Amino acid sequence: MTTVDPYVPDPRRWRSLAVTLTAGFMTLLDVSIVNVALPSIQAGLGASVASAQWVIAGYALTFGLVLVAGGRLGDTVGRRRMFLIALSAFVLTSALAGAATSEEMLVGARLLQGVAAGLLTPQNTGLIQELFRGAERGKAFGMFGTTVGLSTAVGPVLGGLIIAAFGAENGWRWVFYVNIPIGIVALVLAARLLPPRKRQRTPIRSQLDFVGMALLGLTVAGVLWPLVQSEQGGLGTLWWLFPIAAVLGILFVRWEYRMVRRNRAPLLDPRLYTQTPGYATGAGIAAIYFSGFTGIWLVFALFFQRGLGYTPLESGLVVTPFALGSAVSAAVAGRLVSKWGRKLTLTGLTMVVLGLGAIALIVPYVPHSAIPFAVAGPLLIAGIGGGLVISPNTTLTLDRVPTRMAGVAGGALQTGQRIGTAIGVAVLASVFQSALLSTDQNYPVALAWAMVCAVALTVAALVLAVLDSRWHPHRRLTESTRSVTDAGPFE
């Protein structure tokens, strides 16, 4: 039986949100900003192409590995404590990466930095679940969506400016050092503003599922490792990890059900997917959508830099309309989700399909010099649509999750997004490269085929969203002063 608990708004909740979003901005920025710095890393350290790619792939891999475990730790030991620990680790590993004297040291620092980011990220969504209710929660997730959009927009541009300011040989170091002052300020403010966890009598060790953490970590590693190495032939040489990951995934689910039957705390309660209204479909929409749109950034970078000879900064500026449109519409959507619900997601996905589809139709027939102007409008439309997808879908997916599970639910949702991202990058890059080979290096046609692939994946997410709207035609957010309690819908 579902019960409710009294909710007393924390007067510092909006300031707390600003601090957590600042930290989240840094972790997301480190995905896009480092892409621009790869040539500088190779010049400064004499790094090989494989090592330079691992600077990106290693971060993505360890980031995805610990998201669920990080969420569970936040639910168990306290989100404020985990936020402070993870943010401190992120600042320290950023300093270590910036001070690296060899390519091995840099790759190691990036692996550790990914772990810190993966532990930090679920605390953001968990704290939003804890601090906000109803329409306010929608606004908070809208600001979270704006943060995602801005980090995407600012990353390539800021990276290009830093490299230009500090030079090709050492500019990459400042790409990491920029996190240090921002992180220190965020740490001081977080220590003052974030709410402390209420003391519990149950020993923390008894609430942690170490076997589940190991099984899920190995499962995610088996899926992500070949995908993040796809540009270096990972799919061809590491394909055997996929069946192993499938077996480990089955063992993980069986173990979690066993933990539930024994009344012990599982890492990821399977009933989150089977008994929480909207969570499973929302997580599916997110994973499929991220596989559709995140891969386009690599394809655009290859198209503009290799195909048209743009600098990284110029390439980043061309695709800025998408990210800016997403940032603005996410904030607006956060205010409307309590009224319009899943209709926002349907509208957003439709706009993404139209925007990317228009690019596929336009690019092959436009002179190279006019392409940046020709794609600006469609990118803006797709970006506005993207903002209508991410924040409303996150709000609706997590709305009925018990507060005590907010961290692990957010971590699981974002793990699906990271896997979707890796799949999308691998698939769209493969389609782009295959089209180049089959068309004698015709870059516009290759870009068009990659956009068609992105549209197909987005349409799949749209179909799932339509089904969800039919299964739950009257979905609304929970009341602003009430929340699912720790007992939740599972008891």
For 93, residues 6+ apart whose C-beta sits below 8 A from its C-beta are 109, 110, 112, 113, 116
Residues 271-307 pLDDT 10s: 878 877 888 888 899 889 988 887 888 788 889 888 8
pLDDT score at 378: 95
* Residues facing residue 5 across a β-bridge: 483
pLDDT score at 207: 66
pTM of the model: 0.81
Rounded distance between C-alpha atoms, residue 366 and residue 362, angstroms:
6
The enclosing H or E element of 5 equals strand 4-6
Give which of 474, 464, 435, 475 is closest to 451, Cα–Cα.
Answer: 435
* Residues facing residue 483 across a β-bridge: 5
Rounded distance between C-alpha atoms, residue 404 and residue 382, angstroms:
35
* Other Cβ atoms closer than 10 A to 353: 21
Give which of 399, 451, 418 is closest to 62, Cα–Cα.
Answer: 418
Rounded distance between C-alpha atoms, residue 133 and residue 114, angstroms:
30
The DSSP output letter for 263 is T
* Other Cβ atoms closer than 10 A to 167: 13
pLDDT score at 97: 92
> Is residue 135 within 8 Å of residue 59, measured between CB atoms?
no
pLDDT score at 189: 92
One-character DSSP codes across 119-157: HHHHHHHHHHHHH--HHHHHHHHHHHHHHHHHHHHHHHH
- Nearest-10 Cα torsion for 422, 423, 425, 430: 140
The enclosing H or E element of 194 equals none
> Is residue 208 within 8 Å of residue 72, measured between CB atoms?
yes
* Other Cβ atoms closer than 10 A to 242: 14
> Is residue 432 within 8 Å of residue 302, measured between CB atoms?
yes
Rounded distance between C-alpha atoms, residue 416 and residue 285, angstroms:
10
Cα R_g (the chain), whole angstroms: 22
Rounded distance between C-alpha atoms, residue 43 and residue 12, angstroms:
46
For 323, residues 6+ apart whose C-beta sits below 8 A from its C-beta are 149, 150, 152, 153, 154, 383
The DSSP output letter for 415 is H
Domains and CATH numbers, the chain: 4-195+204-208+267-490 (1.20.1250.20), 209-266 (no CATH)
Cα 93–chain centre separation: 20
> Is residue 161 within 8 Å of residue 175, measured between CB atoms?
no
> Is residue 152 within 8 Å of residue 33, measured between CB atoms?
no
* Residues facing residue 6 across a β-bridge: 482
Cα 374–chain centre separation: 29
Q: HEC profile for 384-407? A: HHHHHHHHHHHHHHHCCCCHHHHH
Residues 207-234 pLDDT 10s: 677 888 888 888 888 887 787 776 666 6
pLDDT score at 474: 53
pLDDT score at 445: 93
> Is residue 62 within 8 Å of residue 48, measured between CB atoms?
no
* Residues facing residue 66 across a β-bridge: none
For 349, residues 6+ apart whose C-beta sits below 8 A from its C-beta are 289, 385, 389, 458, 461, 462, 465
pLDDT score at 487: 45
Considering only the C-alpha atoms of the chain, give the largest distance between any 2 of them, rounded to a whole number of Å: 69
Spans in the chain with pLDDT lower than 50:
1-4, 479-488
pLDDT score at 199: 56
Give which of 421, 418, 442 is closest to 432, Cα–Cα.
Answer: 442
Quote the Cα angle for 135-139-145, to 5°.
140
